Amino acid sequence: MEVTSKNDLNDFSQLNVLLIDDNRLIHDFMKSTFFGLGFQNVKCAETAFYGLRLCDEIHFHIIICSFNIKSDKDGFHLLEELKFKGHVKKTTILIFLSTETSESLVNSIVELQPDDFWVKPLFPKLVEERLLQTIELKKQLFGMYYAIDNKDFAKVIYYADRHLLDKELAKYHPNILRMKGEALLSLLEFKEAEVFFKKLITKYDYAWVHVGYVKSLLKQGRIDDIHGLLTTLMKKPDTRFAMHDMLAQYYLECEEYELAYEEIKKATALSPRNIERNKKSWDLARLNHDHMGQYVATRNIAQQAKNSIHDSPVLLLNVIRSGIDLACTITDDSSNKILGQVEGFMRKLENDYADAHEFKQQLIVAQARLHNVRDERDIAERLVQTHLNLRPSPLIEDNLDKVKVFHELGMREEALTLLSAVKNQIAGDSLSSEVINKYVEQETDERSEIHFTPKQLNSMAVELFQKKKLQPALDSVVQALQLAPKNVKLLFSIFKILIVIKKQDEADDSHNELADKIMGLLEDFNLDERRLDAYKSLKAKWDADSDKTVH
């Protein structure tokens, strides 16, 4: 791939410029401005598709891209693709345009690290000034940008130390210092980076200085040293996204998956377009038994990836799977709404993707699971017996879904056999994350010990309770809660059974401990007014019997 050189930037008449914006008035304005500065080669594209095609044909030194290209994909995913294909490097001058300045958009732009961000409406004098400043910066620090492109971070530091001695480059010192700090972090020189950023904090109040300092300490495991600083930076709009994102990674590395999940959800909400972060949120939702969170994350991934390099029918398949997982945990008729949405996504997959036929086997698994959730077990069993076998797929997610259908239909030996194959598959797959590994271990343990879905366990508990078999009913709901800890109805069910057990003077220490745990969980939930009143009523009943002797 052709690259920009420092000398290229000296002659505007030889520079290739690309503007990607769906507004033709912007095209005319920008062409006029560029031609007035001596540029001769300016191309315009109204769509991301045409912009990509031009980049395949021409090497552009300057790319100006609107963040919101309504016709096909937005600027975030366009830049991802341009970088992936090698059309945009650090030596490329990249400028973003937008009429919007919301926090989520600004966070997304910060992740992309363009050279400048211009807010519409545009004015000729301002555009000229900003463009010339950006070109001059790129030219003066070209060696550093080129070294970053080649991941030669030691050379970045070498150039930085030389440039910082040059008084003529004094106005670029913040840019130089930022690249040096990022190079130290890239080289895993965390102690040196800590000293470097700590010194800068006394001179500069830039967001990147605080972010770099926090990162250098987190990478050394020294979170206790910066609790106060983290609290402060989480309140500032220009740093809170980075704090949540870094904390999520820190807790992941510490294997504190509940804390990692809480932080990744906050980071994803603040910058929703990043697909990899959404995937982390999905993986952590599964590990933390947050089935609604899992469903939301997979829907976000499918929505954000539309028309991007990430777009794939597999993403809709994951939405279908997580929707069925969620329906398996819902203990009332509201599961029908989720299942209706799942059927809609199945139709969408078949209608929107020409290669949907390649997923026939996976859709059969989904259909069997869907029928089983609806208590149409005979149909589900016929589908499984006719179309499925124990042969593992090359794809881990396909195998995990097949494990679920076997388990849900009572074919537990088949489920555990296939889970064993999945564990071996992950052991030989260097790309599988630690979170996926933990999730498969969790699935193996739970499916070995618990033989039914939360919905099935709840139904069994209702039947047992009606037959006055209180302890078996309690055991069933406790198992259901293990699989669906976010289900408030299960917490209420357990509390109600415990109250009856206590009324009959059959409660022991274990029942009292469980009641304390359930009350703590219910109090931690943000209950609506109706449920809060119900909880207070149940707690009053429990407390009324507190003077009874515990056997």
Distance CA 112, CA 511 (A): 54
Burial of 35 (0-12, 13-18, 19+ CB in 10 A): exposed
Backbone angles phi, psi at 449, to 5 degrees: -95, -35
Q: Are 267 and 277 in contact (CB under 8 A)?
A: yes
CA 491 to mean position of chain CA atoms: 29
Show Cβ contacts of residue 235 under 8 Å, excluding neighbours closer than 6 positions: none
Query: What secondary structure letter does DSSP report for 328?
Result: T
Burial (Cβ within 10 Å: 0-12, 13-18, ≥19) of residue 188: exposed
For the chain, which domains are there? 1-140 (3.40.50.2300), 290-449 (1.25.40), 460-544 (1.25.40)
pLDDT in tens, the chain (551 residues): 455 666 678 899 999 999 999 889 999 999 999 999 999 999 999 888 899 999 999 999 999 998 776 666 677 888 888 988 999 999 999 999 888 777 877 787 778 889 998 988 888 899 999 999 999 999 999 999 999 999 999 999 999 999 999 999 999 999 999 999 999 999 999 999 999 999 999 999 999 999 999 999 999 999 999 999 999 999 999 999 999 999 999 999 999 999 999 999 999 999 988 899 999 999 999 999 999 999 999 999 999 888 888 889 999 999 999 999 999 999 888 899 999 999 999 999 988 887 778 899 999 999 999 999 999 999 999 999 999 988 888 888 999 999 999 999 999 999 999 988 888 888 766 556 788 889 988 988 898 899 999 999 999 999 999 999 999 999 999 999 999 998 999 999 999 999 999 999 899 999 999 999 999 999 998 889 999 999 999 999 998 866 554 44
Strand partners, 525: none
Rounded to two decimals, what is the model's pTM? 0.88
